[in-house]
Every structure is written in C-alpha cells, then in structure tokens.
Structure 1
Amino acid sequence: MRVRSAFAFAAITLAALPGSAFALQLNNTAGCLLDLVQNDGMEPMAGARGNEMVSRVVALVDSAQSTLEVAAHEIDHPAIIKALQKAAARGVAVRVYTDAKDVLQKVEQKSANGALGRSVAQRTNLERLMRGSDGTFGTSDDILIQAESPIEAAVRETGARIRAGLPVAPDGLPRASYKVASYTFVDQPIIAPGIVRRTITTGHLPTFRAPSTTRMHHKFIVADDKRGVTGSFNFTLSGAEGSQFDALTGAELGHRQQMIFFDNPQMASGYVRYFDALWGGSHGPASVDAGLREPSPGLLDFDVTNCGFPVRIMFLPNRNAATSLIGEIEKSSSSVQFEFFAFEEEKFIRAIYKQAVDRNIEVRGIIDERFYSAFADVVRSKIGAEADQFFLGTLNGKPRVEKSRLFRLLHSKTMIIDGAGGANPMVITGSANFSISAFEHNRENIVVLRSPAIALQFVGELRRFVNASRVNRAGYCSALQRPEDPEPPSELTSLTEDD
C-alpha cells in the first residue's frame, strides 16, 4: 500500500507559537464577518490581559440590546455569568437552554471523583442566573432557564449555596411534582421546568425521560438575531483558564478550544429558529407542556449564502448528517486532518482509511489522550492490523494520529478536508465529537465552511498547535500548581464523552 508520509506536521517552524487564546480573521465581507478564536491552554503566565476567548464571549453578551439566546451544555465562568446577569438587568431578554442534568440522587448513588460536587455546582450557577443580579426570583432581571427534563435545585447542600452567594434555602423558586425515569419528585424547587414527553394517565405525574439518554451538547450564543458564537467551548472556567487558581495567577491552562464568532444576521437567524424549536416558542417563558417539536432530521439545517463561499449549518441528532460528511471525505483528493476530543465513529475512520489506500491522501490527526484508546480500539478491532499500523504506527512508532500531550483537555472538534490543496477543501467544526452518541443521540451543531483559504488557515493552526502541544507537559509550570494538588486535577479521570 502506497501512502503519504506520516511526518507532514514536522516541517513547520516552531517560531512564534502562541500558547494562549487568540483570534484570527477568517472572513470580512459585507454582511459576513467570521473570526476563529482559539484557546491553546499552554501559557502559564498570560498576565493581566485576560483570556481572549472569554473576553470575546463577554463582549458579545455586552453588545446585546434586546435578546440573547444561549444554548450551553455547561456554564460556570464567573465573567460570563456576570455579563449575562448584567444584560438581563438592563432589559435584555435572556434565555438559557441547557443540558438536563442527572438527578442528584442518581449522582449520589453512583458518584465518583467529585461528580456530586460538580453536579451541585452546575445547579448553583444556574440558580444564580435564574435569580438575576438582585438575587431574587420573580423580578425583572430574571433569566429564563429551560432543559428537556426538569433540573432540581440544590436544596440540602447549604454550604455550596452559601459559597455561591445564594440564600441558604431555595425559597421563592417555582415548585413542581414530576418523575424523571424512576425518580419521583414532590413539591420540588426547580431551576428548569423541563418539557413533557408524555403523561402516563390523567391524574398521574408528568414524566420525563432520563437525561442520560441524550445530551444537550450545544455551545452557542446569539445576540439580537444578528451575531453570535459557536464551537467547542462550554463557557466554563476549566475550559478557558483551567481553574480559579490559574485565573488568579494570570495563567491560561484551560482546554484546547476552537470557536467561530460570526456577525451575520442570516446565520444568526438560523440559529435562533433552531433555538425556538428547542424552547417550544419564541422569546417567552417556556411552558412545561409546550412539547419539544421534534423536527425531521435536517429540517432546520440551513445554508448561509452571503459570505462569498458556501456555509452549511447542520443540527444533530441526524444520521443523515453523518452520511453527508462521510460523502465529503470520500471526495477528498489530497488530505484529511483533524483534532478531536473524541473520535470513535467507525464509519468516519473507515472512510478516511479507504481514501488513504485508494487515493493516497495525506492523513494527520491528534486526539485527546483520554479518548485516544477508544479511537485505537475501533481501528484495531473493527478495521484491522494494516489500519492499526497506518493510523497508530504500532510497528514503526510513527503514528499519523497522535495522542495529545496537553496538561488538560484537547476539547476541539474539527476536521479539515483538502486543506493544503485539493478538489474538496472545507472545514468541519462545531460542538460535535465524531461519535455515535453525537450523531444519533445528542443535540449538537456542525459548521461546514467550504473555502480553500479558510481550510488552509485551519491546517496552519493545526500544525502549529500539534508542534506546541508536543512539549506542553514537559514545559508546564509546576510552580503554578497548588501544593495540595501536585498531580493533574482528579476530575480528568472521570470525564466522559459528554464533555
């Protein structure tokens, strides 16, 4: 089998490798401004300038004059929470659609590596948003929160409530009686009402499906139906600076992220249409019995036509989306390169391998070390020994797909086809890992940018990042670690593909 060299990344110079968050302009035409903002998570002394990715999100929120739609798998960054509260206080209608968290009782029963603390913190941060700047629910600065299943308030965790600046008891919050899977709640203080899937019979409690059956995995914000952001960043402190300690010391040691900021009313309105379908209506409080209008797969996908090149936005779950993207891989004539938190969908891996065998395309990639073994297992068990050698370099120690050496997560989700020349140049990015759960179960969005110039920019950034990340662990500034935490944070051992 004749294939291209495995060392394409090695040729690029290591000079001027930024290690913090920074922005690159992708497009600047009338009506279509696109910027790529990245977080490398490799700068122990970023100083007082602040994280560019967080600053841009805050600026987007601060720009809103009438509406903000926030679809966030998680949100806990203090600066972003404060910006959303300020927006609501000045009269902006703020809606937050978030992931329906596993019920606390279930987390308590199955808790490992701090999962309960994380679940409680998720709830206290959402309640802070819900109460607004004045800390009182039922006033004009409240932020509307919704999820597919109800999110119960943290009631017994008084210490966590006090630390979050909340009242000791969740007084004043709405209450509801309902069931989530096998868990029953009676007169429970709630943060999000959830959307009823079915009622068992008249007189019985409304019943919601278990959150673990699907994840609301989006990370997008739209302001005033005109501009917004989407990508891999969960709007969390760990995703940007790394930890509160890192942020206070001026470090940027968060996760590797890529975000697309857009100033384009056509693109923004398409995201808002989708958001309204999730919400069950537009610009108002979500009704428990509104019912999630499940569109046919692809119904709310849309094209952006005013950028000077084709842009396609796709929403998941949608098996047809996977088929479409595999078709793009099958059209590649030169290269497929990628960086992923998780990449374990056999159909994509097999399509890439087939192109390498049949058309001698260049293949290079990097995967977060926590999911590298899952990728390797698919290659070895489902594709075969030759693919094992091709992707992983098992026999010669020269892998085409590397394991990330970042201290924290490689959290981006990006594939570049024919990025350095070829018949089908494009960038595929967004919130979705290339996994079965992403395409068949989760709520995700994918941005497809068909531009040779943008594809080339992404290739350059991927090569720069791979070279820089190879020395990241060795170069990590151990002096910035707290004495009681000499090892990487323990929560990294409990991460799932939901992150």
Structure 2
Amino acid sequence: MHHFNLSRQRSLFLILLSLALVWLLNGWRTGAGVKPLQNPLAQDPYIQVYFNHSEAQTYEDPYRRIKRHGDDLEQVIVEAILQAQTSIDVAVQEINLPNIALALRDRAQAGIAVRVIVENQYNRIWKPLNDFQTQQLDDRDQSKHTEQQQLIDANHNGKITAQELNQGDAIRILETAHVPLIDDTADGSKGSGLMHHKFMVVDGKTVMVGSANWTLSGIHGDFAHEESRGNANGLLKIQSAELADMFTEEFELMWGDGPGNDKDGLFGLQKPLRSPTVAQIADTQITVQFSPVSESEPWSKSVNGLIGKALNQANQSIDLALFVFSDQGISDRLAQKSKTGVKIRALIDANFIYRSYSEALDMLGMAIPDHRCKFEANNRPWSSPISHVGIAKLPEGDKLHHKFALIDNRTVILGSHNWSASANHKNDEDLLIINNSTVAAHFRREFDRLAAEADLGRTQTLQERQQRQRKACGLT
C-alpha cells in the first residue's frame, strides 16, 4: 500500500511537472508576462522616435497574438492616419498590414484625400497558386506568399474566403474602397529601380518616416518563426510643415496624374536632380535629400556623398547599424576618420556583411573574391583595420533592416536609403540628417542594445569563408 502511494505521488508529480513545463514554454512563445526592461526615454516635442525592438515598451502583436517587447509601429502609424483631417499621402515600398489599410479606407470614406504609392512588384492581391505556379517562385517569393496567406486566413483553417480577402489583404482593401493607388509603372515604364520609400505625410504638417516597410515581417514578425519579432526597424513622427512640404514635393513628382491615363509620374532618374534642403524645427536642423542621382553627376552631389560629408564632421564617435554597406566612397571617408582617432563601430545585417562587395570587409582589413574570383573594383581594405564590426544577434527570421548612423551622440543619419550604389543611383529613396541630442539618445540606446551581444571582428566563420573562397580561386 505504501509503495502504491509513492508510485501515485511520483506519477502526480511528473504530470504536474509536465504541465508546468508546457505552461512555461507556451508563456515563452506567446510572451506572457512580458514587462518593460528599461524606462522610456524623453521624446522631443516635435520629433518622436520608435523602435519595434525597444525594451522600454510592450504590446501584443495583433495578428500572431504574441505579447512582446517593442513599440507597436503599426499602431503609431494607424493613430496618425486616424488623426488626419484633410489629406494623407503614403509612399511605402510594401504594405500588407490590414489594420493600416483599413484605417486608410476609413479616412478615405470619411472624405479625407488619401493617395498611395507602392513598389510595382507588391501592387497585387493575394491569390491561390497551384503546384506548378508555386514551383515557378523562388524560395523568398514562396515564403512571402505563404506568409500573406496566413495573415489573411483569419480563422487559420487553411482556406481563404472572399470575406477574409476583403478584410485581410491590404491591396484588396484599398482597391475595393477606391483609394487612389499607383506604383512605379505609372511613368509608362516597367518600373524604376525600386520605389523604396517608407514615408507618409498627414495634413501637410506631419511626416512619418523610417526604415520599416508596412508589413508583418517589417514590424511584428513572421508566422513561420514564432520567435521572430520583425526586422529591426525604426520610425519617426515629425511635426513640421516645412519638412512635410519637402516630402510632398517628392510625392507629387512620383504621383503625376495618379491613376489617370497620362502616365506622367516621375520615378527613378526621371526626377530632377535636387540638392539637399534644410528644415528648421525649433532648435533642430534636419537636412533632407532624395535619391536617385545619376552616375554622371559628381559623387559629392549624391545622397551617399551627403552621408560622407556628415560622417566627416565626426570628432569622437560614429556608430553604424546598416542593412547593407557597399559604398566605397563612404568607406574611404570612414577610414580617414578612424585614423584621426574617431571611434567607429558597425553592425550590418548577417545576409550582407561578408559578401565580396561589403565595406565591412574593408573595415576589417580583408578582401574576399566573388564567385567569379574577382575582387571588387577600386577596393581599399583599411590599412588600420578596426575590430568592432559584426553581426547583431536577432531572433530567427529577423533582419537588421536599419539604415542609421549616430555621430558624436548628437547627429543621426536615417531614412529608407541603404548605403549602396542601387540606392544612390537607381531607387526612389529618402535620407534625413537630424541634429538633436534627444533624438540621438534613442538611437544610442538602440545601437547599444544591438551591440550588447554581437559577433564582432574576424570571426572564425569569416576567416574560414575567406580561406575557402581563396582556395576555390587558386589564390592560396
């Protein structure tokens, strides 16, 4: 009898332990009990900064129902839309979040003038694909199609009804509501490099701008990866009629007659060359320039040239958080600043950092030939390499999508503009340089968060990659 009771108690203990483990695991996956890890920073009254991986705020992902750290960038955007009284102009590469589309629809139906521009490859409504059609897609497009299906499938039964499509597909929502929408084929072409902007102008006085596409992966995280929290991105809300005028001018150039028949929108290099312009917001100066700039123009007149000039003003430190960094001119200027004693640190997305054209290799004093066994033209590895160059550790499925630099803890460079030749010479892009220590403090915290657990320097993985490629090219 005593033995029976012990066995029963042991079984009960194991059952309770199993239930506890399930509860803990489920809590980890859903973020149950998540609390802020930091106190919020002060915000400038005219310029508010938000990061979707911020540890000072929490929210529940409205689609995956996961409680997590971060600023809810989608909600910030929706609130700005719902506050509109006269007009909303949106130029964002990709939009698939239904709550944003529904907010735009509601304001349009309330009589607000709403206009939307997207990149042509994302101006489409989801549709089911057969096996043959699916096989024609590459892995990335297959993944995007599946993610979109899961986003639209509200009851998660694997089938998309007409009602779910009408309420869950952002482009369908906008088209059904007759919201004027165009893409970069509105100039009569097959599309520019990329319509890569991520901005919105509300009532001619508020600008929402940053690095995030208005997508599930750009803001919240993927269905395919429960631990995903969205690509690391930032968003700024700026109150300034002067700045809004600059972005409205860019929008109008692309818009032309909108969805009319004239096909007179201007995208890519069809737009006129414009020099940097400056908006003064109280004590803050914001410099703005739009891409692209023709390769026939001096590099100094381009947006990458403007970045180089701003970096050249550094006296103490430069911190970079970049999706891609492949501009040699910027790298050369950073090398010179490093030699003068300016402390430089760089974090670059894992998918791009060690490619043959990446300037991260230059900063580390290395060079790797490409698949043709060619080295990058005019490549200049630093003669005095630095070690604080590497990869931030992010949740599986997430990318470092930032495009910012922090200079002397005072000046921030940001926008949609990647530090690449394509952004400089082909794409429709925006770049802002903001001189404001309160704004800079937010980027300081974000960079420090990313740098806290980063793989830096000439890692074993990098050295092995270099050796393999050199051996394959007969260079050992």
When the two structures are superposed, what TM-score results if normalisation uses the length of structure 1? 0.65
Corresponding letter in the other structure for 1:367: I
State which structure, 1 or 2, has the greater radius of gyration over its C-alpha atoms. Answer: 2
Residue 411 of structure 1: which of 401, 405, 423 is its match?
A: 401
Residue 39 of structure 1: which of 49, 52, 68 is its match?
A: 52
Match of 1:349 in 2: 331
Describe how 1:167-206 pairs up with structure 2 within 5 A.
194-196=186-188
Match of 1:290 in 2: 264
Helix, strand or coil at the partner of 1:372: coil
Structure having greater relative contact order (Cα 8 Å, sep ≥ 6): 1
Match of 1:228 in 2: 207
Answer yes or no: is 1:444 the counterpart of 2:429: yes
Helix, strand or coil at the partner of 1:411: coil
1:124-179 per-residue CA deviation (whole Å, 9 max, x = no partner) reads 845413333xxxxxxxx411111121xxxxxxxxxxxxxxxxxxxxxxxxxxxxxx
Answer yes or no: is 1:429 the counterpart of 2:414: yes
Residue 276 of structure 1: which of 252, 268, 282 is its match?
A: 252
Match of 2:347 in 1: 366
Corresponding letter in the other structure for 1:347: G
Change (3 A) 1:270 1:25: farther
Describe how 1:11-410 pairs up with structure 2 within 5 A.
24-28=41-45, 33-40=46-53, 47=67, 52-101=72-121, 111-115=137-141, 118=144, 125=169, 127-132=171-176, 141-149=177-185, 194-196=186-188, 208-209=189-190, 211=191, 214-244=193-223, 253-281=229-257, 285-292=259-266, 294-298=270-274, 301-318=276-293, 319=299, 320=301, 321-357=303-339, 359-374=340-355, 375=358, 376-377=360-361, 379=363, 380-381=366-367, 382-384=379-381, 386-387=383-384, 390-391=385-386, 399-407=387-395, 408-410=398-400
Change (3 A) 1:44 1:56: closer
Corresponding letter in the other structure for 2:449: R
* Distance across 2 between alignment mates of 1:237 and 1:263: 26
* Preserved CA contact (<8 Å) 2:320 2:346: yes
* Preserved CA contact (<8 Å) 2:98 2:170: no
* Preserved CA contact (<8 Å) 1:369 1:405: no
* Distance across 2 between alignment mates of 1:455 and 1:48: 24
Ranges of 4+ aligned residues in structure 1 off by more than 6 Å: 41-45, 102-105, 107-110
Helix, strand or coil at the partner of 2:139: coil
* Preserved CA contact (<8 Å) 2:53 2:69: no
* Preserved CA contact (<8 Å) 1:19 1:41: no
Query: 1:81 Cα deviation (Å)?
Result: 1.7
Residue 449 of structure 2: which of 435, 450, 464 is its match?
A: 464
Change (3 A) 1:76 1:415: same
Query: 1:455 Cα deviation (Å)?
Result: 3.0
Corresponding letter in the other structure for 2:317: S
Helix, strand or coil at the partner of 1:37: strand
Change (3 A) 1:55 1:326: same
Query: 1:102 Cα deviation (Å)?
Result: 8.3
* Distance across 1 between alignment mates of 2:401 and 2:290: 19
Percent identical: 22
* Distance across 2 between alignment mates of 1:277 and 1:228: 17
* Preserved CA contact (<8 Å) 1:23 1:38: no
Change (3 A) 1:244 1:79: farther
Query: 1:286 Cα deviation (Å)?
Result: 4.2
Corresponding letter in the other structure for 2:214: F
1:431-461 per-residue CA deviation (whole Å, 9 max, x = no partner) reads 1111111111111101111234433442233
Query: 1:53 Cα deviation (Å)?
Result: 1.2
* Preserved CA contact (<8 Å) 2:49 2:442: no
Change (3 A) 1:114 1:435: closer
Helix, strand or coil at the partner of 1:339: strand
* Preserved CA contact (<8 Å) 1:279 1:286: no
* Preserved CA contact (<8 Å) 1:51 1:240: no
* Preserved CA contact (<8 Å) 1:57 1:80: yes
1:405-433 per-residue CA deviation (whole Å, 9 max, x = no partner) reads 112111111001122xxxxx411001111
Query: 1:312 Cα deviation (Å)?
Result: 1.0
* Distance across 1 between alignment mates of 2:50 and 2:253: 28
Match of 1:7 in 2: none
1:31-89 per-residue CA deviation (whole Å, 9 max, x = no partner) reads xx100000118889863999521110110111112211110110011221221122222
* Distance across 2 between alignment mates of 1:244 and 1:87: 29
* Distance across 1 between alignment mates of 2:389 and 2:113: 45
Aligned residues: 363
Corresponding letter in the other structure for 2:348: I
Unmatched tracts of structure 2, length 5 or more:
1-33, 61-65, 153-164, 294-298, 368-378, 456-476
* Distance across 2 between alignment mates of 1:362 and 1:38: 25
Q: CA RMSD in A?
A: 3.4
1:266-289 per-residue CA deviation (whole Å, 9 max, x = no partner) reads 2222211210111015xx644443
